[in-house]
Structure 1
Amino acid sequence: MGVDYYNVLQVDRNASEDDLKKAYRKLAMKWHPDKNPNNKKDAEAKFKQISEAYEVSFFLFHSISVSKSSLFLINLLMLLQVLSDPQKKAVYDQYGEEGLKGNVPPPDAGGATYFSTGDGPTSFRFNPRSADDIFAEFFGFSRPFGGGGGGGTRFSSSMFGDNIFASFGEAGGGGGAMHHGGGARKAAPIENRLPCSLEDLYKGTTKKMKISREIADVSGKTMPVEEILTIDVKPGWKKGTRITFPEKGNEQPGVTPADLVFIIDEKPHPVFTREGNDLIVTQRISLAEALTGYTVNLTTLDGRRLTIPVTNVIHPEYEEVVPKEGMPLQKDQTKRGNLRIKFKIKFPTRLTSEQKTGVKKLLG
């Protein structure tokens, strides 16, 4: 009984040409030996089986779906393919068309595979091309993962995502984004500011960003789509922190989509400013309060009330430092910077004679 190639590709027998291509792409990427270094032997066998299943299923799809008026052209194309393959040509020269159908055993047929069209009992003998040849037909090269031997172009790790096939052309078309030798040109990153309040950066928050972009299907046609990107802002993030969504730019032939980059920007706060991991607040006090003592009352960025008595004499350069009431540290959110309280002293514009005498007497 022949191999169920549709089952190997995980598609049903009514699969379209596009379904077959998509299935092969997905499974070929999964089982390429260079991507399975710890299980290379089994992966190589699976990879060849998948490639063989694709070629057989693709042949069956066209053989079954074409009209009778097109059979001459199909047979001609098949004959050209046979004549371009030395082994198949030798079989054809020796046994004719019957040899290709398997009715006469061709030479070196030990590795050949049988499959049935489903239209009758006739079995055809099929000698597939190498798996790497089929892979190269799709992707422009046969060793995408940097494996030894062919010196093929490497993929960067960021390319193995949901949109890996978005910029590839049709099989054998040669118009995809990947080129022999140097790889596709990548578009410059698209940068956007992401304004965050100081409270957002103190406590952390989730931002949802709606984007519109052009994506391409396997035929190269583009269409607009909208996506929602989720950004988890972590406590302690600083202005300038970059969040990158790889290849979320527009897709176009011959170009790897641009990365979409959001850059944290800090909104001004009415009470606090930030210096590194420290929070700074400035209090305006009178000269009498500076000399006799002052109590600072503050609401923190997470809503707590702080009461901080200052008993020292406050001079213009004085700072009251409250440990661990600053921003969370980005690398260790169990730790915090300091709260630094600065003061602006309101000096009187004039003193009466009696006030001057009293100050001199007091400070004498």
Structure 2
Amino acid sequence: MVKETKFYDILGVKPGCSQDDLKKAYRKLALKYHPDKNPNEGEKFKQISQAYEVLSDPEKKRIYDQGGEQALKEGGVGGGFSSPMDLFDMFFSGGFGGGKKFCRARRRERRGKDVVHQLTITLEELYKGSVRKLAVQKNVICDKCEGRGGKKGAVEQCPTCKGTGMQVQVQQLGPGKFLNLIDNSSV
């Protein structure tokens, strides 16, 4: 039973539609409302993209179908937590998209800085096109330690974050609780 159909309505599909139908509807609407083609419809394009992002991901779709848009914002059906351990469990034991999957997603976001290099070209080269070779330095993972910083088993796991690279800090101020995620790599 689907609690809310707003995202389905935005894409013009029924709740029981296939992933192929969902993708076709998204592509059709994305072409129609893309800001490059239709500059006045930027907000509509954002809604279409958000709806597709939720409905194309099986876990997000399940949460949305069971609890609506509010459940997505709260991190799952029911929302809220009664103790700091509930909050910790939400992030590391499956309530927020599945245990270590959350930690991996956070690590995947960390990437190197964008490389910017200035080139001087003529208007003719810009118009006709040209090929240039550019030498760029790149950091690679060490073959010996595989990026661990030492031999396998020689480096100890951090007792605070258990190797996730993130600390969860819960503070209670009055009736509300506040969550801080601290990236250990910046400390």
Q: TM-score, normalised by structure 2?
A: 0.36
Q: Which has the higher contact order (CA 8 A, sep 6+)?
A: 2
Between structures 1 and 2, the one with greater helix share:
2
Larger Rg: 1
